[in-house]
A = this chain, B = another copy of it.
Amino acid sequence: MAHARRPPLVHPEAADLNLYAVLHALADPTRLTIVRTLREDLERACGTFPVSVAPSTLTHHFRVLREAGVIHQREDGNRRWTTLRYDDLENRFPAVVDTVLRAAPA
A residues with a Cβ closer than 8 A to B are 19-20, 23-24, 26-29, 32, 92-96, 99-100, 102-105
Contacts of A102 in B (CB 8 A): 94-95
A104 to B27, CA, bound (A): 16
Query: Copies per complex?
Result: 2
A27 to B31, CA, bound (A): 15
Q: In the assembled complex, how far is the CB of residue A27 from the closest CB belonging to chain B, in whole angstroms?
A: 4
Q: Decide if B20 touches A28 in the complex (CB within 8 Å).
A: yes
Q: In the assembled complex, how far is the CB of residue A89 from the closest CB belonging to chain B, in whole angstroms?
A: 9
Q: In the assembled complex, how far is the CB of residue A67 from the closest CB belonging to chain B, in whole angstroms?
A: 14
Contacts of A96 in B (CB 8 A): 99-100, 103
